[in-house]
Chain A
């Protein structure tokens, strides 16, 4: 995973709530067994509309979206598609839990900001597509024009993202704890054999 400290880029204002993961990456794309190449499938049905907002903001790396972004399926392919398209961060008033967790695993930063702040950012980007938006993980802050908005992220996750660390490697440092736990699991628990 690439480390994330701070990122500045232009943004896409996607004025839709409940953007579910079936819209982000339709299920047909989920048949692939690779981890890359999902960018072409990003919002593929909506992109058929020549007026779809993504077309008006080429090169944007920050996605501004309405409330409840990433609802539905647990498909991490949604995160891979956004990243493959070039997005580094998504800003929304609220994220679905599994999407948020998947994004944090892969280094796509999900930034939750109050609805009125997201609205101000969207209005600024709609007025001028070249408006830069900075997502500063170190300071836990989004800055754009006169908007300076703090966001919450726990210290541990922030540290892991800034170091670009692999979760599995971190957990395996605690292998003795796992082995000890396994020794005290009750005998009645099932196996799949």
Chain B
């Protein structure tokens, strides 16, 4: 019987297999950041162990860093970043620190450097490591004990996950993005829908996605519980990779492509589960609640918890509406926001910035709305500035920042105040995620940009109407 893409990558990395034990899997790339690594390095020191493969390990500073200055004023954050610097020095790990031209969100810099490659096993102490699966890598988040394990052994003992296919048929309509697609998927399958599975996204609509859009989809795999998300490599993947600093060159490129071409799910392979989605039915999508599965189309209203079956689901919806300060039946387009955040490992890349800039060009951020753009990496920032996008944003009233995780997670100065409401291109709308008491609506870059201009949740198509009305 044939094998799936995930199974092929898994099998190629088995160091040791024994009956009744987890497989010992080799890790090709270990990405490290300041938050989930200090206790792991401490563990190495206590046991007198070294980092086995510093040459397969790469660190950066992203979660704690301020995006409006190069000085960390919070002493606790500063200690954590300084601890990473000391650990990287002591253990010989390459670090891209704050202020370096290569610094950025860990899941943005891997692909841009070309160290993220098809068929690789990639881990990081961060759940959004699933992003790298867009290249046909098997990439997943791990905890700090596993970070220590990989540092010490370059392997992980793992039980082989089940496989799932998400086939997206048809084509996305103009104005509908990869973010809308994945938010609609999560609303359909629920936050635990992918639990225990490695998911392969396939089908016509997935093949048509750009590399960056594929990263957006794979990034959100963890938000519906999948262990990892993958997309088979193709010409789009190779075109993105070729010429990047760590991509193979010359004969090695040819050898690599020959291998990558074999990384397709066989026609007779069987997935443990399959989900089918119609891309043409997806419209701009937003969340109303406090988990990423609580979402509706922008054209719909805040749902009524009483319409749900009694029990935990209804209680969760009631609690979410109370936290979010929303009333059932309110059209989503009437929800006014205080803040718009464009950035994160989900939507902080060039195409995201370009799409948003196209919407705000020649327009103004609505009065009373704070809007900020935080590029996913310093290279993204540089490229955007070369294209003049920073001026489009600042002319419209957006703040233009340095790279970092920023307002995605409330670990740095960029946070919401209690009760503040945001439209955010990030990945989690959990209670307090963007700051204590903050209320988050997850949206695409296009919706974020239109919302900044309108002052309430809106799609770009809504703006031309609004403009015509004002002119009339």
B410 x A27 contact (CB < 8 A): yes
State the Cβ distance, B346 to closest chain A Cβ, in Å. Answer: 14
Most buried by B among A35, A155, A189: A189
**Residue A47 is within 8 A (CB to CB) of chain B in the complex:** no
Chain B residues whose CB sits within 8 angstroms of the CB of A162 once the complex forms: none
- Chain B residues with a Cβ under 8 A of chain A: 15-16, 20-22, 24, 26, 28-29, 35-36, 38-39, 42, 47, 49, 52, 55-58, 63-64, 74, 76-77, 79-80, 83, 94, 114-115, 117, 120, 125-127, 129, 140-146, 148-149, 152-155, 157, 159, 161, 191-192, 195-196, 222, 225, 227, 246-248, 252-253, 255-256, 259, 291, 293, 312-313, 315-316, 319, 409-411, 428, 430-433, 436
Query: Known: A101-B143, A155-B20, A177-B24. Contact between A45 and B125, CB under 8 A?
Result: no
* B55–A26 touching, CB < 8 Å: no
A20 to B440 alpha-carbon distance, docked (Å): 15
Contact, CB under 8 Å: B79 / A33? yes
In Å, the complex CA distance between A26 and B410 comes to 9
**A73 interface hit (Cβ, 8 Å):** yes
A residues apposed to B, CB below 8 Å:
15-18, 20, 22-23, 26-28, 30-35, 45, 66-68, 71-77, 79, 94-98, 101-102, 105-106, 154-156, 167-168, 170-172, 174-175, 177-178, 181-182, 185-193
Q: Are A22 and B225 in contact, with the CB atoms below 8 A?
A: no
Q: Are A27 and B24 in contact (CB under 8 A)?
A: no
Indicate if the CB atoms of B195 and A97 lie closer than 8 Å: yes
Question: What is the minimal beta-carbon distance from B325 to any residue of chain A, in angstroms?
Answer: 16
Smallest CB separation, B25 vs chain A (Å): 10
Shortest Cβ distance from B28 into chain A, in angstroms?
6
- With A168-B148, A171-B155 known, 17 other A-B pairs at CB within 8 A are A16-B312, A16-B319, A18-B192, A20-B430, A27-B410, A31-B64, A71-B192, A72-B430, A73-B409, A74-B127, A76-B36, A97-B196, A102-B146, A154-B20, A156-B21, A167-B157, A182-B154
Which residues of A are found within 8 Å of B225, using beta-carbon distances? 68, 71, 96-97
B contact residues around A178 at 8 Å (CB): 15, 24, 26, 52, 153-155
Contact B120 A189 (CB under 8 A): yes
Could you count the A-B residue pairs with CB atoms below 8 Å apart for me: how many are there? 205
* Inter-chain contact B39/A33, CB cutoff 8 Å: yes
Q: Identify the 10 closest CB pairs spanning chains A and B, nearest first.
A: A102-B143, A76-B143, A105-B145, A33-B38, A74-B141, A192-B58, A68-B192, A188-B256, A188-B252, A76-B144
| Contact residues in B for A75 (Cβ distance below 8 Å) | 35-36, 143
Contact B55 A28 (CB under 8 A): no
Q: Of the candidates A22, A30, A73, A193, which one forms a contact with B432 in the assembled complex, judged by CB atoms under 8 Å apart?
A: A22
Which B residues lie within 8 Å of A22 (CB)?
A: 409, 428, 430-433
The contact of A171 among B56, B143, B149, B312, by CB within 8 Å, is B149
Q: A26-B432, A68-B192 are in contact. Are A15 and B15 (CB under 8 A)?
A: no
Assembly CA distance A182 to B153 (angstroms) = 11
